[in-house]
């Protein structure tokens, strides 16, 4: 069985591990300095744990799941020996990671938090030099916790960060806004939460089943001069759609900025 090592045992690592153990397709070891995390991972998922990445073999896989700013220190003593490297660290490009690990066999992944319940979205990029077998491994790992979208260029990871990577936070923001509006209309906090949650769940399910464009679905419940029309008119007057676009643009710009900063810091270091 192929050996898969996780460097970092945080939430995203645990989400991916939870999906993979159901497949029983990898021999998994999680490397983390936190004893409580190691104990939880062993008890919850039955995986191996440790505090140091062993010297790797070429047919091993190492998934980097530590914070970008901690990556240089965390990988300083890692001997990858040509193993396949998967990175979910935002902002660290393949050139920077390759220099850190003395290994160009790297695939970058941008997952999102719904992976914790098996409903994630992962944008994935692999250089053209990598074999199809390496891409298959990355897809096998990430499809265990959601959908996988392959990107043609590495810089497209910034764009997918702005959409699906950070996207769940936008949805939670809108859910909270609707819940706050419900409270302003006199509902208690618990009922306001339930109403917002049920409305979002129902709308998503309807959109999935109908297959219609989102704009058409919105028009289907917006009778001219009616109650929904009044709300949509207020949203349009406030330029809500344009503001959401501006938020996505800001997220993408920050992702690009972080990559530049991390590349410079690691080059200077």
Specify the CATH number for the domain of residue 223.
Answer: 1.10.3730.10
pLDDT at 268: 74
- How much is the pLDDT for 125? 98
Instruction: Specify whether 143 is located in the same domain as 188.
Output: no
Which residues, at least 6 apart from 204, have a Cβ–Cβ distance to it below 8 Å?
none
Q: Are residues 179 and 143 in the same domain?
A: no
* CA–CA distance, 196 with 184 (Å, rounded to integer): 13
Domain around 23: 2-155
Helix axes 94-101 and 240-268, enclosed angle (nearest 10)? 30
Q: What is the mean pLDDT of each run of 10 residues along the chain (269 residues)?
A: 95 93 92 95 96 96 95 93 96 93 96 94 96 96 96 96 97 98 98 98 97 97 96 97 97 93 79
State the residue for tokens 């009616």.
226
Q: In sequence order, what E strands does the chain have? A: 2-7, 26-31, 48-50, 61-64, 84-87, 106-110, 120-125, 146-150
In a domain, 259, yes or no: no
pLDDT at 154 (0 to 100): 96
Residue 36 has which token pair?
């409580």
Do 149 and 172 lie in one domain? The reply is no
pLDDT of residue 159: 96
């Amino acid at each position: 069985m192929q050996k898969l090592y996780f460097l970092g045992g945080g939430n995203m690592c645990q989400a991916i591990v939870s999906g993979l153990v159901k497949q029983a397709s990898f021999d998994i070891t999680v490397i983390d300095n936190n004893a409580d995390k190691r104990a939880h991972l062993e008890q919850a998922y039955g995986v191996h744990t440790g505090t140091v990445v062993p010297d790797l073999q070429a047919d091993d896989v190492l998934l980097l799941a530590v914070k970008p700013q901690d990556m240089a220190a965390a990988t300083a003593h890692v001997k990858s020996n040509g193993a396949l490297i998967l990175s979910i660290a935002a902002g660290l490009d393949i050139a920077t990671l390759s220099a850190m690990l003395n290994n160009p066999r790297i695939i970058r992944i941008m997952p999102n938090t719904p992976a914790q319940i098996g409903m994630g979205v992962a944008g994935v990029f692999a250089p053209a030099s990598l074999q199809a077998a390496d891409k298959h491994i990355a897809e096998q790992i990430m499809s265990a916790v959601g959908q996988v979208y392959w990107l043609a260029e590495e810089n497209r990871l910034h764009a997918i960060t702005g959409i699906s990577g950070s996207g769940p936070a936008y949805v939670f923001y809108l859910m909270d806004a609707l819940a706050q509006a419900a409270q302003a209309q006199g509902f208690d906090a618990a009922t306001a939460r339930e109403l917002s949650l049920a409305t979002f769940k129902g709308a998503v399910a309807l959109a999935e089943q109908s297959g219609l464009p989102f704009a058409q679905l919105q028009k289907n419940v917006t009778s001219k001069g009616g109650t929904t029309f009044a709300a949509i008119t207020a949203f349009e007057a406030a330029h809500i759609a344009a503001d959401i676009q501006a938020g996505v643009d800001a997220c993408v710009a920050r992702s690009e900025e972080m990559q530049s900063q991390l590349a410079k810091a690691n080059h200077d270091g």
